[in-house]
Amino acid sequence: MTTMDEPVTGAASASASDSASAPEDRRDKVCVIGAGSAGIAMCRSLKIRDIAFDAYERRSELGGLWRYPAQGGKSCAYPALFANTSKTVMQFPSFPMPDDYPDYPHHTQVAGYFDSYVDHFGLREHIQLDTEVSRVEQAAGGGWAVTFGDGTTHLYRAVMVASGGRHGLPLFGSYEGKFTGTETHSYDYEGPADLAGKKVVIIGLGATSADIATEVSRVAEATYLSVRTGHYIVPKILEGGPIDKLSPMMKKLSVEQRRPLVTLMIKLVHGHMSAYGLPDPPYKVGQGPLVASSELLPAIAHGRITAKPVIDTVDGRTVRFSDGTETEADVIIHCTGYKIDYPFLDDTLVGDGDDAPALYHQVVPPETEGLYFIGLLHSMMSLMPLAEFQSEWVGDLLTETVSLPSRAQMWSELRNARRRQDKRFHDSSGHLLVDPNEYERLMADERRKYATTDRTGVGTATRRKG
């Protein structure tokens, strides 16, 4: 795994694997992997700059994690999924969501919005569906070799990875013993129908577990929510509007400057989380993501959901919690997140998945030319606008209207950024957590600070020496 102390030079120096036929040279183009929200944002950035590109999506439809049911693959979505952030916060800056959409659109509406985005910018002809990328590595003659599931290989001058690596591999909670009921992950959740009349334990506290727990509690005999770390839960609507729609003035404030107002709002609306049997957060407001749910706490107050601490042991169908209580359960659902995973990239580039790859501004590997990561962030609000800001920056790098600083400068800023994350956030989610308003300003500053005086074509942006 790449460390912060010693950069790995030549991290992707291996030549492309031999394939059954000679690679097709497409180094007049760049490659985009993934056609979810980050992938289509990158496609737009390339299209409006007249940069030739091919995009590949392993599923049968575009939309990534928001497409359910996922034709040609699994999805993190589920039938009752609604946006956790309001449409004005989650929409792409270049293409607002329709006025007739609700404040918090259903996943089908978000997927339809992606379709409209792709058609509006003329991207569909560049996206090849049902195409699995099996390997990406530097080519001996320069550029990148992209190998597909059928064994064919194409050479590209640059690759944009936008394949949802933050939701790569489902992670499960750990405890001693063997559970003889049904054990599953939220990734495989398809609604509460099969859980009617059953006793269900849900592990984790986040947007997904809040959704699933409240939905399951309407049909289950008993629903238990097992929580290790407390988080701040906020309603989706406040004073008749989305709680996350900040005024222009509020957007200019830092997390620390907004903290007193948000803390007061939570205290007045919900009080302490311990009043609901949940652990109080071990951090201040703004040091971790807020969980927006208008249903979870009322469901607990109404007795449909019982809050519990972590699971200590299981024995058959008996689940024992760390406070000494126990219950019989039929099903355990792990809403415990994911591990970063890019199976088509070498571990020297992306590490073991426990921490984010070492990337300048979460996008550029300092030691590797022509490789960019789009959407590998954990935004405290919504990812989509940030993915478009990243894509704009990468588009400028590819057209050389913006340059990169020296490798030494990139490593210095990368280390400083991670130190700030570690100091600022209770859990930086593998150094992925960012404040969206600050990150937007960072992208704008980067494009301004390193703007070049002339445009030299569409070659890969030249890094400053040193």
Task: Determine the pLDDT at residue 252.
Answer: 77
* pLDDT, tens digit, 9 for 90 and up, residues 82-101: 999 999 999 999 999 999 99
Q: What average pLDDT does the structure give for the chain? A: 89
Q: How far apart are CA 271 and CA 249, in angstroms?
A: 26
Q: Is the pLDDT of residue 69 over 90?
A: no
* pLDDT, tens digit, 9 for 90 and up, residues 257-270: 888 988 999 999 99
Q: Is the pLDDT of residue 15 over 50?
A: no
Helix, strand, or coil here: 57? Answer: coil
Task: Determine the pLDDT at residue 428.
Answer: 59
Q: How far apart are CA 354 and CA 364, in angstroms?
A: 19
Average pLDDT over every residue of 165-189: 92
* pLDDT, tens digit, 9 for 90 and up, residues 29-40: 999 999 999 999
* pLDDT, tens digit, 9 for 90 and up, residues 392-403: 999 999 999 999
Predicted confidence band of residue 247 (pLDDT cuts 50, 70, 90): low
Q: Is the pLDDT of residue 14 over 70?
A: no
Helices (H), 67-188: 87-90, 107-120
Task: Determine the pLDDT at residue 249.
Answer: 66
Q: Is the pLDDT of residue 135 over 90?
A: yes
Average pLDDT over every residue of 376-399: 94
Task: Determine the pLDDT at residue 403.
Answer: 96
The amino acid at residue 228 is R
Task: Determine the pLDDT at residue 348.
Answer: 87
Q: How far apart are CA 266 and CA 173, in angstroms?
A: 29
Looking at the domain that runs over 24-168+339-449, which CATH code has it been given? 3.50.50.60
Predicted confidence band of residue 72 (pLDDT cuts 50, 70, 90): low
Task: Determine the pLDDT at residue 20.
Answer: 54
Pairing of strands 311-316, 176-179: parallel
Q: Is the pLDDT of residue 285 over 60?
A: yes
Q: Any idea which of 80-84, 337-341, 371-375 has the lowest mean pLDDT? A: 337-341
Q: Is the pLDDT of residue 277 over 90?
A: yes
% of residues, the chain, pLDDT over 90:
72
CATH architecture of 172-334: 3-Layer(bba) Sandwich (3.50)
Distances (CA, A) of 411 to 147, 346, 347, 398, 462: 30, 20, 19, 21, 17
Average pLDDT over every residue of 20-24: 82
In the chain, which segments carry CATH 3.50.50.60? 24-168+339-449, 172-334
Task: Determine the pLDDT at residue 163.
Answer: 87
Give 441's contacts (C-beta < 8 A, 6+ positions apart).
none
- For the packed helices 37-48 and 107-120, what is the interaxial angle rounded to 10 degrees? 10
Average pLDDT over every residue of 152-161: 98
Task: Determine the pLDDT at residue 253.
Answer: 82
399 phi-psi bin (left φ>0, alpha ψ -120 to 50, beta other):
alpha
Task: Determine the pLDDT at residue 54.
Answer: 98
